[in-house]
Amino acid sequence: MKRRTARAALSVLMISFAAGLAFLALFVASGWAPMAQAQSGVTIGIDADPSQSPANQPTSLGSREDCFSMDSGQQRDVDLFITDVLELLSFSAWLFYDEAVVNIAAVDVEQFLVSEGGDVWNASHDTPDSDGLYWAAAAETTAGAEPSGSGVLARLTLEGVGAGISPIWLSKYPEDIIIRPSSGPDIVPDARYHARIGVDQVDSDADTLADMCDPDVDSDGDLIANPDDADDDDDNFSDLREAFLGTDPLDDCPNVVGEHDAWPPDTNADTYCNVMDVLQFKPHIISQFMDPEYDRRFDLNADQKINIMDVLSLKPYIMTQCS
């Protein structure tokens, strides 16, 4: 696993080398940067289907989709995008995914950052990447060519490698997303948008769209089509949260005891929520994202930390059974 301390040092060294001493102040020592008002209204996120008409372009964005499904062996692009930024100099973002479901086959950062005719340095991790954690990063190296507006920071090519649903999840720790303008302080995004990618998922009406993303399917019968329904199985955990946890967002109870992980409070998949589920937290308690003990399955509130708050999330369900 790529460690937090190693990546912090790597970020400083790599970006400093690429941009040169002239840009060092802007990349590694914000205290040297000119004083300016922080930018607001900037968002960053993942678009699961950038080809949806109108398709994303380097400096323009279509509708944002948080769901896409493909087959094993197939490759599809997803976009890391930004909105309403002024004079962007560099960005870096940590995202994680389920390596048993998808791998990152390629990355293209010559998008928004080159729109003003400058040159870009790709500081992202090498591809293909298959360990579940990826650092996307790039810097504009031509003074005066820093772009403003909205567009695609990086286009990631994913390859389906196994059945399941993977989150494409931007880390929530502030230091894990760095958006640096040509002047002024680093930008704290107003919002982060995640996505989920399904591989070899059920297509009950055989229309080539998996049920998880199909506007013709209503899995929980609440008269809201799956793409518009934040919780397709009505278990009080959103589809995106369940993609993060690795549970089945279209089913609120295990179909096969011990094998089908479907109900988030039921951490051992036996259809009950009881003290046995509480005990499952023991190896992971007081851990956080990138610690060896961290397992997102037990991070029930998806804050990238496993602590008493996650255990307390079981309270409404304790001593109950799903069916």
What is the predicted pLDDT for the residue at 199?
Answer: 97
Instruction: Examine residue 231 and state whether it is found in any structural domain, yes or no.
Output: no
Q: Do residues 45 and 192 both lie within one domain?
A: yes
Q: Do residues 45 and 175 both lie within one domain?
A: yes
Instruction: Examine residue 284 and state whether it is found in any structural domain, yes or no.
Output: yes
Best CA proximity match to 77, nearest among 48, 44, 46, 45: 48
What is the predicted pLDDT for the residue at 60?
Answer: 97
Instruction: Examine residue 28 and state whether it is found in any structural domain, yes or no.
Output: yes
The backbone region for 141, taken as left when phi is positive above 0, alpha when psi lies in -120 to 50, beta otherwise, is: alpha
What is the predicted pLDDT for the residue at 141?
Answer: 96
What is the predicted pLDDT for the residue at 154?
Answer: 98
Q: Which residue has the tokens 């973002």?
A: 93
Q: Which residues of the chain have pLDDT under 50?
A: 1, 3-35
Q: Do residues 123 and 21 both lie within one domain?
A: yes
What is the predicted pLDDT for the residue at 2?
Answer: 52
What is the predicted pLDDT for the residue at 27?
Answer: 39
Of 199, 228, 258, which residue constitutes the final position of a domain? 199
Instruction: Examine residue 216 and state whether it is found in any structural domain, yes or no.
Output: no
Instruction: Examine residue 251 and state whether it is found in any structural domain, yes or no.
Output: yes
- 262: domain CATH number is 1.10.1330.10
Q: Do residues 168 and 250 both lie within one domain?
A: no
Instruction: Examine residue 308 and state whether it is found in any structural domain, yes or no.
Output: yes
Number of domains in the chain: 2
Question: Cβ-count burial of 212 within 10 angstroms (0-12 exposed, 13-18 middle, 19+ buried)?
Answer: buried
Range of the domain at 251: 246-323
As given in the structure block, the two tokens for residue 295 are 């397992």
Q: Do residues 192 and 252 both lie within one domain?
A: no
Q: Do residues 156 and 276 both lie within one domain?
A: no
Best CA proximity match to 160, nearest among 260, 67, 52, 69: 69
**Phi, psi dihedrals of residue 4, rounded to the nearest 5°:** -60, -45
Q: Do residues 192 and 77 both lie within one domain?
A: yes
Of 199, 215, 235, which residue constitutes the final position of a domain? 199
Neighbours of 271 (CB within 10 A): 18
Neighbours of 16 (CB within 10 A): 15
How does pLDDT run across 162-182, given as a tens digit for each residue? 999 999 999 988 789 999 999
Q: Do residues 46 and 192 both lie within one domain?
A: yes
What is the predicted pLDDT for the residue at 83?
Answer: 98
Q: Do residues 156 and 286 both lie within one domain?
A: no
Contact status, residue 61 vs residue 150, Cβ threshold 8 Å: yes
As given in the structure block, the two tokens for residue 107 are 């990355």
Instruction: Examine residue 319 and state whether it is found in any structural domain, yes or no.
Output: yes
What is the predicted pLDDT for the residue at 35?
Answer: 46
